[in-house]
Amino acid sequence: MSVPGSVLVLNAGSSSLKYQLVHPDTGVVTAEGLCERIGDTGSSITHELNGVEVTERILLPDHRAAFERVAALFAEDGIDLATAGLRAVGHRVVHGGRTFFLPTLITEHVMSEIERISSLAPLHNPANLVGIRAAAELLPDVSAVAVFDTAFFHGLPDAAATYAIDRGVASLHAIRRYGFHGTSHEYVSAKAAEFLGRPYGEVNQIVLHLGNGASASAIRGGVPIDTSMGMTPLQGLVMGTRSGDIDPGVVMHLHRVVKLSADQIDALLNKQSGLKGMCGEGDFRSVTELIEQGDASAKLAYDVYVHRLRHYLGAYLLELGSLDAICFTAGVGENAAGLRADTLAGLENFGIIVDPERNTMRSKEVRRISADGSRVEVLVVPTNEELAIARQAAQVVAES
């Protein structure tokens, strides 16, 4: 078992705790798991160690209890996390605001800064902090590093990052585009350049991260120049349960006329919109099944999803001026061949041609799905945010 030197990567959500024990040099995953419905009576843990998976229903009143149980599951397999020689605990933190744009060793001061930024990401940062505190209590001697989802987009050009609203209000309240999924966009774009055998700094690409959350980015020579998510992860593409772009006037209307509170509108746009809002299913595979059964609302939801993707694709193509590669990643991007084909259909005049056979071949590796005559390379690049976080955390610890 390659536990010594591994990094425990933690991703704490409001009612979940995702974890992976991974070696940053080899990429070997010893264990991974997910605690769900924390704080609810139906809470459970799925834990997989060396390929053996166990699921247990267990009362997990809070994240501390969840992390304690995870540590106990490791201990049952002979791994004492406190003394196993972990190099670091790497925490995914959603919002770094303007403060954090590098992976950062966690101190009390860093924790209070993350808390301060929480007003920008009330659904995410508080949960991330709870995870950080739970791990710090149980593993006080292991260095902890925060890796921020916004970091990669820190240097977005002002013209892309600025909302066209009152300048005073924007600057007083730090209202601007931050961008998210940065760890994935950076990892995938670097992998793509490596696959193409070209220096990262010379490749212009559009990365489409399509998971439950979804975002697009335009990356010029390794430097992001635009991205679809905004001050929060609600903006941009259609997602599993999030609306993506919407006229802000709709929000006022929902408040004034429909009489929904801010919290109700927040829940509507974050949890009951997107694919789920349009057809009742937020999971892409379920949407596909509904379409196969002839469900018209699922077909419309799919069409809206593709329409929005093409909208961003077109915008980023022009912003970049010249394009070398389009990369599909995350659950939908890596697996839904039909969606990839529909998104890029009819773009031959732009030098974008998908090869139907390559597109439908299944693999866990980086692969080219464009036709030989396609000027733009179209790639499927499996993302690995955990490994990217583990590597960044290990590097910070090595340098500290």
Residues with Cβ within 8 Å of 31's Cβ and at least 6 positions away in sequence, in order, are 19, 20, 21, 47, 48, 49, 50, 74, 79
Binding to ligand ADP by residue 379, rule CB under 6 A?
no
- Binding string, residues 333-372; x marks residues near ligand ADP by CB under 6 A: --xx------------------------------------
* Residue placing its CB nearer to ligand ADP in the complex, 11 or 104: 11
Is residue 149 annotated as part of the catalytic site, yes or no? yes
* Residue placing its CB nearer to ligand ADP in the complex, 125 or 204: 125
Binding to ligand ADP by residue 131, rule CB under 6 A?
no
Query: Judged by CB under 6 A, which of 180, 187, 284, 312 binds ligand ADP?
Result: 284
* Residue placing its CB nearer to ligand ADP in the complex, 106 or 330: 330
- Binding string, residues 132-171; x marks residues near ligand ADP by CB under 6 A: ----------------------------------------
Among residue numbers 227 through 256, which ones bind ligand ADP (CB under 6 A)? 240
Q: How far is the CB of 127 from ligand ADP (least distance, A)?
A: 14
Stretch that binds ligand ADP, among 105-113, 116-124, 210-218, 243-251 (CB under 6 A): 210-218
d(CA 139, CA 393): 16
Residue whose C-beta lies closest to ligand ADP: 331
Distances 251 to 1, 38, 245, 259, 262 between C-alpha atoms, Å: 52, 30, 12, 11, 9
> Which residue from 386, 365, 385, 368 is spatially nearest to 377, judged by alpha carbons?
368
Stretch that binds ligand ADP, among 23-31, 144-152, 165-173, 278-286 (CB under 6 A): 278-286
d(CA 109, CA 240): 35
Task: Return binding residues for Mg(2+).
Answer: 11, 385
Q: Which of 149, 226, 247, 303 is catalytic?
A: 149
Stretch that binds ligand ADP, among 32-40, 59-67, 206-214, 319-327 (CB under 6 A): 206-214
Residue 39 region by backbone torsions, left for phi larger than 0, else alpha for psi between -120 and 50, else beta: left
Contact residues: ligand ADP, CB under 6 A = 211-213, 240, 283-285, 330-332, 335-336
Active site residues per annotation: 149
